Amino acid sequence: MNVLVTAGPTREYFDEVWFLSNPSSGRTGFAIARVFADAGHDVTLVSGPTCLSAPVGVKFVPVTSTCELRDAVTQHVADAEVVIMAAAPVDYRPACPQAGKMKKTADKMLVELVRNPDILKGIGRNKGARILIGFALEAADLRSNALRKLTEKHLDLIVANSPSAFGGDRTSVEILGPGGVVDILDDVSKEELAGRLLDLVGNLSGGR
Ligand code: CTP
């Protein structure tokens, strides 16, 4: 199958130096891309800036901002039978990024931010026969917030995790579907999570 995976953070620049971002390492998305490619799928990995090397056998598309991520996803989604959005896109960007480097003059500074597109919600609106898997990063009310996102974004599965998953080798997640809890993985490697998603995609595609 053609599988489109996104990974990593995005960056939204205030000027040519300072940016708004988050600590996503990209490890989960890269592990998913690697595990699906090793299983023989055609994988495109669109990723924001990370320290990781592109997995062998994967088509790698680097991006920086959320709008660039949206553009790359839009370009590749038509061919994708499976979309797995493991990226952590920044939801707002500076309204008026400055050229050069901002100089510190005033004691206080107000920066206007404008909302970025919700990429996964956009794909969900035109889901077709695609299998769509999202992630939910929740600091509170993990399950209820994740289930709301699953419904709003028309997902087949959502992987709910907490900010403590950022950067580490291991993770603890709840995988939820429209019927509720599908699996709970406690302190597993990101490869093990990817392997479980591979199995679940196999089940979903077999049932279609
Ligand atoms: N996502 C996206 N586009 C965005 C933000 C998030 O496609 N601008 C995707 C993420 O890749 C993830 C899912 O939507 O698969 C949920 O992301 P998350 O950050 O948990 O939630 P948001 O939808 O951004 O909502 P909020 O920040 O209000 O919790």
Q: How confident is the model at residue 164 (pLDDT cuts 50, 70, 90)?
A: confident
Query: Is 31 touching ligand 1 by the criterion CB < 6 Å?
Result: no
Query: Is 81 touching ligand 1 by the criterion CB < 6 Å?
Result: no
Q: Ligand 1 centre from 129 Cα, in Å?
A: 22
The β-bridge partners of 134 are 85, 158
Q: What pLDDT, on the 0 to 100 scale, is given for residue 208? A: 63
Query: Is 118 touching ligand 1 by the criterion CB < 6 Å?
Result: yes
Q: Ligand 1 centre from 106 Cα, in Å?
A: 34
Q: Ligand 1 centre from 10 Cα, in Å?
A: 12
> What are the E-state strand segments in the chain?
2-7, 12-13, 19-20, 42-47, 59-62, 82-85, 92-94, 113-115, 131-137, 157-161, 170-177, 180-189
DSSP H/E element including 69:
helix 66-77
Kindly tell me if the per-residue pLDDT of 91 is higher than 80: yes
Cα separation of 133 and 154, whole Å?
Answer: 9
pLDDT tens-digit readout, 62-86:
999 999 999 999 999 999 999 999 9
For ligand 1, atom 4, the nearest C-alpha belongs to: 118
Instruction: Residue 30: name the closest of 62, 7, 60 by CA.
Output: 7
- Give the residue with greater pLDDT, 115 vs 167: 115
Contact 41, 1 (CB under 8 A): yes
Query: Is 46 touching ligand 1 by the criterion CB < 6 Å?
Result: no
The catalytically annotated residue of 2, 22, 161, 203 is: 22
Catalytic annotation on 116? no
Cα separation of 25 and 87, whole Å?
Answer: 10
> What are the E-state strand segments in 162-197?
170-177, 180-189
For ligand 1, atom 20, the nearest C-alpha belongs to: 136
Residues 6+ apart with CB under 8 A from 137: 88, 161, 162, 163, 165
Query: Is 87 touching ligand 1 by the criterion CB < 6 Å?
Result: yes
User: Mean pLDDT over residues 188-200, rounded?
Assistant: 97
Name the token pair of 128: 């077709």
Contact 155, 149 (CB under 8 A): yes
